[in-house]
Amino acid sequence: MKTALMLTFRDAKKRHWNDSEDASQKESPKKKAALDDKSDYLKPESAPAGSVRSPCKHFTLKQKKTIVNNAKPLGIRPIAKMLKIPKSTVSTWMKIDLSAHMNLNRHFPKCGRPISYGQAIDDKISQWVLTQCDLKIPVNVEGIYMYVKELVSKELPKSKFSASHTWGDGFLRRHRFVLKSRTSLAQYLHKDLEEKVSSFHKFDDG
């Protein structure tokens, strides 16, 4: 009799834990409805042609800010599960001041020479740099120059724009980008120092 009671208690306890796990995995109707309403405008942009990376890495700054605003009341886990992105990604976005990135041009509208290719292309360049940072891909000044050259030649074939050091310095200040060593952005060297380093490599190769 005592053995039967122990087995019954054990089975009841096991069912209790199973029911608790099932309940914890189910979202409340109110929270589920809120997530469904937001699923349309939280979809990421399509990945660039030739890209093999997950499209979840291509959210715009505006979409990231929307995700963060919804993750605060609804929770990181439901938002990450709905968008199929890591919880750590959402947590990182919540620690970053995305509003500052979105208002950079408003705060620093006259850094560097007036851009000849238009604000839309300048925003694309800025977004590309931020995307590389999200992907943990190192970016240096020469990499930015190469991307700008390809983008401008594609968008404005007749443009005579040239990515000079003056433009690069203005672009970095305009978007408040800081190039540091051992981070997602490489160290921005002075022109004279870059020439010395380049000469050293040529001498070493020779």
Looking at the domain assignment, is residue 45 inside a domain? no
- The C-alpha atoms of residue 62 and residue 101 are separated, in whole angstroms, by 10
- Looking at residue 16, its pLDDT comes to 44
145/198 same-domain check: yes
CB atoms within 10 A of CB 126: 19
Q: Per the structure, how many domains does the chain have?
A: 2
137/196 same-domain check: yes
- Looking at residue 28, its pLDDT comes to 58
Backbone angles phi, psi at 185, to 5 degrees: -115, 135
Residue percentage of the chain with pLDDT more than 70: 49
95/120 same-domain check: no
Half-sphere exposure of 105 (CA within 13 A, CB side): 13
Looking at the domain assignment, is residue 69 inside a domain? yes
pLDDT in tens, 114-125: 677 888 888 888
66/146 same-domain check: no
196/118 same-domain check: yes
197/157 same-domain check: yes
pLDDT in tens, 7-29: 343 444 444 444 444 444 455 55
121/177 same-domain check: yes
122/200 same-domain check: yes
Q: Among 77, 102, 127, which residue terminates a domain?
A: 102
For residue 197, give its domain range. 114-205
Cβ-Cβ contacts under 8 Å for 140 (sequence gap 6 or more): 179, 185, 186, 187, 188
Cα→Cα distances 38→33, 81, 112, Å:
9, 13, 39
CB atoms within 10 A of CB 12: 9
Pick the more confident residue, 195 or 12. Answer: 195
